[in-house]
Structure formats: structure tokens, C-alpha cells
Structure 1
Amino acid sequence: MDNLGRYDAIVLGAGVVGASTAWHLAQAGLSVALVDAEGPAAAASGASDGAVSVASKKPGPLARLATASLVYTRALAETGPLAQAYHPRPSYIFGTGPDETAAMDALIAKLDALGDAVRLRRDGGAGVLPGTGPGVERLLELTGEGHMPGYAAVAGYLSDPRIARIWPARVLGLDETDGSVTVNLGHQRLSAPRVIAALGTATPVLFPGLPVLPRAGQLFVTDRGQPGALPGALTSAAYLLAKTTNPAVLPRPPVVIDPLTTGQYLVGSTREDHADPTRVDFATLQQLMIRAAETWPALRARRVIRAFAGVRAAVSDSLPIVGLAPGSARITLATGFEGDGICLSAVIGREVARMATGMAPAADLLADLATLSPARFPSLQESVA
């Protein structure tokens, strides 16, 4: 880098996907600038439940990419940047009624097709996990998944001192020429031959044609208690249905009960089409509380100390957008992960770094990554052309 603000690569967005991409670019020997409007993990990555979950992913490309990313995350946790961030733990899927039971059957078939990275250990009633309540008719115990708070993963990726951190800095515009892209930050300009935009909900500001929309989720956190009673997250099968069904017609509210290392519980979350992180309401939280307490009765002895909303970047067809921006040869997009970014961040960061440096994606991921390309929106391509 010189005093003109020139880098080999510039990453826009210091969430978990952007931080992973910056780390992988630095590992390739490139000088990297990581830019964010507020700071690291300031948006969806900092408000996530941290589940590294294959089970919760939409069947098809996302589930296969999540499986590859889980395996790679484990490797990065052994001797790499995720050593203090990722922790293996069991996970549980519970359900009541025929719709959720059918979703659980579909999950078992999906895991069988994905190999042995995540395995079904037990399939039964509430007795599979002592402490569950009358809201559980069927319970699956899975092994192989893990937990990785977004802020911890971002901190791990940013441990590489070769990444220049630039925040708070809002991107006002991008100017692409034959040889480089100039990033206008108002008070300064940066230039690089490659730019990666991992902007989350801010994506439409710079790329207004992309069908990226905000989707909020309400959550609450309890007070502290004795940790360890619940060894892993309890996820309702309604959450699996929400990946493929209109949330407004779900038979029961989706809920995830996540035990924290502090002895607290994080419980969420809804899926609401708005961008207001301050919008929480008692009626919605009450629905979450009722189902959570029916599932894990120990919650009745806890107090709610905080209720909040996290806003995630979603895409109209429920798949992320990863690939060259329409009409660009130097700007790569990595956005729209809507709750899947924590799990996918390791492999997406690696593969986006490969794309940005002109390398082909890993052969076994090539077809699935192609389904995430912006080229799947023909009207967008035509409007840019």
C-alpha cells in the first residue's frame, strides 16, 4: 500500500462474510482494506444466535455449501483464526403436529444425502433430552454441528495484522475503470484492482437493482443462571418450514432456544419484512415466550432482561447473491445470507477470495456457487446491459 490509498483488494462490509473474505485475501499475500460504515460485526453478524447449523439450511445448494463450510470451519478452529470462536456441540430439533413431523422426516432424508458431517444420534420423544416439556412430541438429537458467535468469528478473522481496518466510513460511490475500482468515502478515496461488496442490508444503496431486502427478527435474552442444563440449541421444526413456506401460514411460531456460556438463554426469532431494529412488540414476544417455555420449562424461572430485533439481508428467492456484480469485471458480491452467514462464512470467504483473484472455485462447489450468481436474475442483467 502507498499514501494514495491503494490496495490489492478492498472489502466493503466488516460482518462475518466480509471479515472471512478479507482474511483469506490476506492469506494469499494481498494487501487488503476492510471498510465498514460503523465497525466490525455491527449489524446482523453481531445480533445472530451463532449457530453453525447444516440442519437449518434450505435443501439443495445451501445445505451442501453449509456442509462444506462446517467441515472447513472445524479446520480453521483447530489451528486457525476460529480457534477461540467455534465450539462443537449437539443440536436438537423438536416438533409437535403433522406439519412439523413431516419437516423432521425431510430433515433426516436431507442429512442422509449430505454424508456424515452431521449425524442423527437419536430420534424419539421428549425423553431424548431431560428437561423438555409438554410442547415436545418428537425430538431429534444431532451431532457434528457447533456454535460460533458472529462477533467472535469476526474478531478471529481480524487477528491478521495485514488487514487495514477503515471505519466508521460510509461508501458514497464506486468508480470502475479498466484497471481498478475507486471507492469514494467522502473524506478519502481508496483504489484496488478488485473490490468485494459484503454489504448486507446496505447492498441496494450501491447496487439498487439487486433484489436484496431487509428481514427483521425479534429475540429476547434472559438473566443468568447455572449453565450446562441445555447442552445445545433447541430449534423448532417450524423454523425448517419457514425456510420453504410463507411464515404467515406456519402452524406454530418458529423458535430457537440457545443456551449461552454465561448461563443465559437467547430465544428467537421471527421473520418480518422491514428494516426497523427498534420494532419489538409484546404480542410477538409473548408467542415466542409461550412456545419456548412449553419446550424448555426451566425458562419459566428466568427473567427477560432484554428484547431486541436483528435485521438480516434477505433475497427475493431465498438464496444469497455471490458472484460478479452485473456489468462489472472487478466487483464481486457476497450478500443476502439472511441468518445463514455464520455457517457459510468460512467457505464463502475462501471461495469469494478465489473468485476475486481470478482463481476458479473449488471443483466440488462450482455448480452450487453458480446457483448463487447474480446472473440468475435475467431482468437485472438486461437493465444493466
Structure 2
Amino acid sequence: MSEATRHAAAYDAVVIGGGVMGCATALHLAEGGMRVAVVDRGPLCREASGVNAGTLTLHMTRAALVPYAMRAWQMWMDAERWLGMGVLATHVPGLTLAFTEAECELVELRAKARRAYGAPIEVITPERAREIEPGLHSGLLKAGYCEIDGFASAYLTGRAFRHALTHAGVEVLENAPVAAIDSGDAGHVIRLDAAAGRAPLHAKRVVLAGGVWIQNMLAWLGVQIPIKVLINQLIITERIRPVMRTVLSVASGLLSLKQFANGTVLIGGGWQGDGDRERGGVEARPQNLVGNVRLAAYAVPALAEARIARIWLGLEAETADAMPIIGDVPGVPQAYVIGSAHSGYTSGPFMGRIMAQHILGQEPDLPLFDPARLLGMPMPGA
């Protein structure tokens, strides 16, 4: 860092990445008294945080993350209070379905594992499941039931966070890609892409919150941690009559379903499309589209009458051990990283809170996930 930049930082913290985790971190830092800026290469929450299924579920959350997801679930339900604007968070029960003996075993094992971390999940009979959700296929053998479930409208997330950040005095820089970070004893200089037309930002602390792009962002600081990229396909139907009133998933993990108040049904389940970190989602895979829709219509036969309105692709990040990366960037003072959580939208608000607590010198409500554990690990799936 040159002598000219060795002055008091203009910001106490600059958060790079304006998704749920980055925005939540910035908001809590500002509420803790810091001068904060959020920088994103596009609009807030328009990458993974704005195009995911918006599911707020414990069934599809990894067991060890259940305590985080439960706290975040409450934050989503209270969004209007702490964000000043709601995201249509809706509390409905959740069911995970088993149609084969192998899936029955999975339902039992996963319910037990999540109960060990505090999730109120019980295994119920098909008769009881159909009392809760009458439209289920007659071939159902068993189901996991959780009262704490629901969904939000992901596309409203950016609007709500922008409102809260502005109210808290956070400077929001959208459409401002970062080109590089120069770090030294005096802090960090964040250099923006020339097309942004902005001068470099000076910060005492920098927080990397770039989702699947965390791998590239860490490389700015000379740190190599591999992050796997998933290209998830999502489907929305045209409006149909009410056919379901819960959040549904299949024990195999290949289906998630919910029906919104306007009658549209969102079909997901992690079926993959084509794309990568550099290009984003490029193209849906027709065979996966057909497979996902057929599974949805099997689970809830009335969905056979639904017509697809739109499909799109959302990017999801995963570390080598499939757990989040939240904590200090190894070897770089006053640099932090947060992201790559499975079901990251569900847990995002709480993850941002504990990241901010750590940066503010407070004891986080729950433990972080030390990034140093991932140094030298191979690329997930390699």
C-alpha cells in the first residue's frame, strides 16, 4: 500500500457482495456503530439470493446447521420488524415424503439427526400426512413432519434489504464490480472496475460475501480455497386451483414444492442445468426439466394439470465439507469471509448477524465456521 493511502480508513468496513449474507452482515455492523459500505457488481440480491426458491425449511437443512436455520427462520418471519419491509414470509408446515423403502429409511435417519440438533421433526403415517396435505399420492409410505417451515418471496429480498441498509446509513454501491483489493497494515483499498467510474474505497476491514464467487474473491487476497458451483434449475407454473398447503420435499432430495397465494407452484429439487462460475447459468437441461416435473406430478397428482410458465437457473456454492465458510480470512488481518452455506437463503440473515458480532468483538450467538479448515482441500466432487 502506498504512502498516499496510509490514512484513516474512509469506512470501518466494506462488504463485497450484496446478497442476503452480505447485506445482513453490513446491516448489523452499521447498527453496531460502524461506517459501512456494500459493493455489488449488480443490484442487491439479484444473484443467488434473488432467484432461489425462497424455501425456509429445516427438512432440507444439514443437521448441524439446524440451530442456525431455526434462528434465521424467526428472523424471516419478523422481517418487517428488523428490515422495515416484509418479504411475504409465510409460515406453513413442511412434509418430507417417502415413496420407497429406501426413502422411508432416509426419513427416519434424517428426522433423528435433525431432532438431535433441536428440530421439531417427527415421523408420521401416510394417513396422518394426508390429513395435513390431502392431495398427496396414494403410494406414500411415510413422511417427516415439521411445524417450523415456510417460504418467502426471494425476489423481494433486495428491496427489503435496500430499505433497511439505507435507513441504517449504509452506503450501497450497486453495478460496481470490484477489480482488486490491496491490503496492508493501514487497511484495504478496494479498486473498482474502470467501468464503474468510481474512485477506490478505503476500509479498515473488508468482508467477502460473494457466494459462488468467493473462490475468486479470496484469490484477490492470495488465498486459495476451492468452492464448488451448483447450477440449480427452478420451475414456476401458471396459476392453478389450490392443490397444496404445505412445503413438500421428497426424501431423495430431488423435489421441493410450494404453492403461492396467487396459485402458482414453484418446483425445485436441485436438478442441474448447464453453466459455471464465469458464465453463470447458461441453459436448462430438458431431460432434468421433464424428470423434475414428473416427480412433482407423482407426489401431488393434481399438478399434472399445471402448465410451466417459466424456468430459470440459480447458482449455489458448496465447500469441500459442505459446511459454510464464516470467519477470518487466513493470514490477512481485518479481512473476513462469509458464504457457501447449504440452504444459504434459509440461514442467511442469522449467518450475517453472527459474522457482524464477531467483527464487532462480541461473542457470536452460535459458533462460526473457520475458513482455515478448508486450506489445501481438494475441489468438492473431485
TM-score (norm: length of structure 2): 0.85
In the alignment, which residue of structure 2 is the partner of 1:100? 103
Give secondary structure in 2 for the equivalent of 1:127.
helix
In the superposition, relative to structure 1, how do residues 194 and 281 fare at CA in structure 2: closer, same or farther (>3 Å)?
A: same
Q: Which amino acid letter does the alignment assign opposite residue 356 of structure 1?
A: I
How far apart are 1:274 and its partner, in Å? 4.8
Structure 1 residue aligned with 2:56, among 52, 56, 62?
Answer: 52
Q: Which amino acid letter does the alignment assign opposite residue 256 of structure 2?
A: V
How far apart are 1:82 and its partner, in Å? 6.9
Note if contact 1:20-1:154 (Cα within 8 Å) is conserved in structure 2.
no
In the alignment, which residue of structure 2 is the partner of 1:40? 44
Q: Which moved more, 1:105-114 or 1:228-237?
A: 105-114
| 2:376 is aligned with 1:379 | yes
Give secondary structure in 2 for the equivalent of 1:172.
strand
How far apart are 1:67 and its partner, in Å? 2.6
In the alignment, which residue of structure 2 is the partner of 1:69? 72
Q: How do residues 158-197 of structure 1 correspond to structure 2 at under 5 angstroms? A: 158-160=162-164, 161=166, 162-186=169-193, 187=197, 188-197=199-208
State how far apart, in whole Å, the 2-side matches of 1:271 and 1:34 are. 32
Q: Which amino acid letter does the alignment assign opposite residue 94 of structure 1?
A: L
In the alignment, which residue of structure 2 is the partner of 1:222? 237
Q: Which moved more, 1:188-197 or 1:152-161?
A: 152-161
Note if contact 2:50-2:157 (Cα within 8 Å) is conserved in structure 1.
no
State how far apart, in whole Å, the 1-side matches of 2:171 and 2:130 are. 51
Give secondary structure in 1 for the equivalent of 2:97.
strand
State how far apart, in whole Å, the 2-side matches of 1:55 and 1:361 are. 25
State how far apart, in whole Å, the 2-side matches of 1:230 and 1:311 are. 27
State how far apart, in whole Å, the 1-side matches of 2:114 and 2:363 are. 28
Q: Which amino acid letter does the alignment assign opposite residue 82 of structure 2?
A: G
Q: Can you list the C-alpha shifts for 1:301-337, whole angstroms capped at 9, x where unaligned?
A: 1111112221111212211111111211111100212
Q: Can you list the C-alpha shifts for 1:227-247, whole angstroms capped at 9, x where unaligned?
A: x431121101111xxxxxxxx
Q: Can you list the C-alpha shifts for 1:102-151, whole angstroms capped at 9, x where unaligned?
A: 11102321343233x63438443462321112453323332022212333
Give secondary structure in 2 for the equivalent of 1:94.
strand
State how far apart, in whole Å, the 1-side matches of 2:322 and 2:203 are. 31
In the alignment, which residue of structure 2 is the partner of 1:383? none
Query: Alignment RMSD, CA only?
Result: 2.3
Q: How do residues 1-385 of structure 1 correspond to structure 2 at under 5 angstroms? A: 6-60=10-64, 62-74=65-77, 76-77=78-79, 79-81=81-83, 84-85=86-87, 86-115=89-118, 118-120=120-122, 122-125=124-127, 127-128=130-131, 129-134=133-138, 136-160=140-164, 161=166, 162-186=169-193, 187=197, 188-208=199-219, 209-226=224-241, 228-239=242-253, 254-272=254-272, 274-275=275-276, 276-338=280-342, 340-362=343-365, 365-366=366-367, 369=368, 372-379=369-376
In the alignment, which residue of structure 1 is the partner of 2:380? none
Note if contact 2:255-2:267 (Cα within 8 Å) is conserved in structure 1.
yes
How far apart are 1:17 and its partner, in Å? 0.9
In the superposition, relative to structure 1, how do residues 378 and 220 fare at CA in structure 2: closer, same or farther (>3 Å)?
A: closer
Give secondary structure in 1 for the equivalent of 2:345.
helix
Equivalent pairs: percent with the same residue? 24
State how far apart, in whole Å, the 1-side matches of 2:341 and 2:359 are. 19
Question: Where does the alignment leave 5 or more consecutive residues of structure 1 unmatched?
Answer: 240-253, 381-385
Q: Which amino acid letter does the alignment assign opposite residue 329 of structure 2?
A: A
Note if contact 2:24-2:348 (Cα within 8 Å) is conserved in structure 1.
yes
Give secondary structure in 2 for the equivalent of 1:328.
coil
TM-score (norm: length of structure 1): 0.85
